[in-house]
Each structure stands twice: as structure tokens, then as C-alpha cells.
Homo-oligomer: A and B are copies of this chain.
Amino acid sequence: MSEQLTFPDWIAVDWGTSSLKVWAMGADGTVLAQNHSGQGTDDTAPDDFEVTLLTHIAPWLGRDHTPVIACGMVGAAHGWAQVPHRAVPCAPLGTPQTVTCRDARISMHILPGLMQERSADIMRGAETQIAGFLAQNADYDGIICLPGIHTKWAHISAGEIVSFQTFMTGELFDLLSRASMLRHSIGEGGGIDQEAFTGAIADTISRPEAVATQLFKIRAVDVLHTAQTSVSRARLSGILLGLELAAARPYWLGQPVALMGPPAVTALYDKALSAQGVAPTHHDIDTATLQGLGLAYKTLSTG
């Protein structure tokens, strides 16, 4: 029996558009092992979800049956199985939906995403992270911002998500820096110039409509005066983030703001918000994901 101690009680899965994260979990919430992969739902054919997951978790499967709890785009129309959205306002965590598995060693349970009818919006994954955050900050009343490819701003009150808003900022940055004419000025990777970043944010907040011409100007300045890539990159980042902050103002103005996201992009949001007089708190995103999935696992065991 001592061998079985290494097998997890359950497996946590965060499967988004562009990444797959799996964790082998002990009954007490301990992480026994983990595995991160770039194989997101966009790279997975409808029939390949189960076999893809199994290649990442196979070493963790014993003779006993192991429940798997998943959140993210894995529950979308093009995912493993479509799990309907729940409508806000509501508590972030819904009931995990059990979906079909061919392999008897696992049972698969996917959490529903959220939708907003008025001012149409959708989320899959962020609701689980918000649930995990609230598990540790039960009385939180304010804003949670989850920076990423599609940044989410959620208004939290009385344990519910009251409203939320998604911005394509991260995807715009990615497309413009990699695939547009601006790639010639921005190069690959590298830092960002802080002064150019905060300057571009301030300019864009005061004149957001000028974005499409300010973007071209990044290239024009470089052609005419040879800008450093760290300055051009900072301008692109600052223009796009300034545009987001201009529209998300009702969320952050005069509100507590909690930030959860990948460290590099979250640091940019921190800097941008600080320049507007907001002092956001910081929270680890994977911890929140595991807390949220853990809550769902408990409802499963007691359900």
C-alpha cells in the first residue's frame, strides 16, 4: 500500500486556448507533481482531448479511479465537451459537469464558464481563479483584474461576480509585435523603457481615439530617428494598456483592485495602475486556480 501514497487523490487541470496545466493533488490540497504544456485547446482536435490529457497525467494514474477537475476553454464548443455558461450576477463557482471518458482510470469533470447578457461577455477559467481568490479573501468587495491574452476585469460584491468586462489587449500586443509592420521596430523579447511606457499610457488615456495613428507613429519615429526596441516595445505596450485603462476606468477608479496573472504582464498592469493612483494587491494565479478547482473537487466528493 505504501506505493499508492505517490498517487494523487485527484488531478487539477487548467486547459486554456494556448496552454495546458495539470497538477497531481493530494487530499489535503498538496501539489504532488505538476506538468505544464503549450498544447492549448486551439491545438487540440475535438476527438483528441482525452488522449492528450492522458499523455500528460498517465504517470499519476494508479489502479484506483482518479477524478479530474478541469476549467477553461476545455469546456467551450470546440473543447472536450461544451458546458453551458452560467449568467452573472452569481457566485463564481458552478457545478462541475461530468463528461464522457473512454479510459476507466479517470472520471472527467469540467466547470462551467460565465456569461453576461447585458454588455455581452464570456469567461472560461477566470471564474475558477476568482472562486479560489474568494476562498482566501471571503469578504472581498472590489475589483479583480486578471491580465492575460484576454484580460478580465470583474466586480465582486457579497461573494458574487456582479459584472465583468474582457479586453483583447494581450492578443493585440501579440499580433502587432509579431505580425504587423511594427515588428521591424520592436524585435523579439527584450525589456521595455519605463518612461516611454508611462508616457504612452498617459497620452492614450487622454486621447484614446488616436490609437491607430499612434501605433503607426511608433514605426515612423523609428524610421526617422532610430528608436531603441525597448522604447518602441514600451510605446506599443503603453498605448494598448492606456486604451484599456481608459475604458476600464469605472472598474478601477476609487476601488480596491486585486491583480492575478502571469508575473511579467501583471507587473505592467501594476505600473500602469500605480501611475493612476491605484495601489493594487497581488495574488498568485496558480494558487487561486488550485483553490478554485479544490473547492469544486470537494463538492464532487460530498455531492
Contacts and interface: CB of A to CB of B under 8 A. Distances in A.
Interface in A199-238: 207-213, 215-217, 219-221, 223-225
A66 interface: no
A211 B213 contact: no
A175 interface: yes
Contacts of A17: 181
A115 interface: yes
Contacts of A184: 78
Given A120-B220, A181-B171, A212 B244 contact: yes
Dominant SS at the A interface?
Answer: helix
Given A211-B243, A247-B213, A179 B179 contact: yes
Copies in the complex: 2
A65 B276 CA distance: 65
Contacts of A117: 224
Interface string A165-182: 111110110011001110
A246 interface: yes
A220 B121 contact: yes
Interface residues of A, number: 48
Contacts of A169: 212
Given A122-B220, A175-B180, A223-B122, A247 B212 contact: yes
A240 to B, nearest CB: 7
A218 to B, nearest CB: 9
A236 to B, nearest CB: 11
A302 interface: no
B119 A217 contact: yes
A207 B208 CA distance: 9
Given A85-B224, A224-B120, A166 B77 contact: no
A40 to B, nearest CB: 12
A223 to B, nearest CB: 6
Given A209-B243, A209-B247, A224-B122, A216 B176 contact: no
Interface string A99-125: 000000000000000011101111000
Q: Closest 4 A-B residue pairs measured CB to CB?
A: A208-B209, A209-B246, A167-B212, A120-B220
Given A117-B224, A121-B216, A211-B211, 7 more contacts: A120-B224, A122-B223, A168-B213, A168-B216, A208-B208, A209-B246, A209-B247
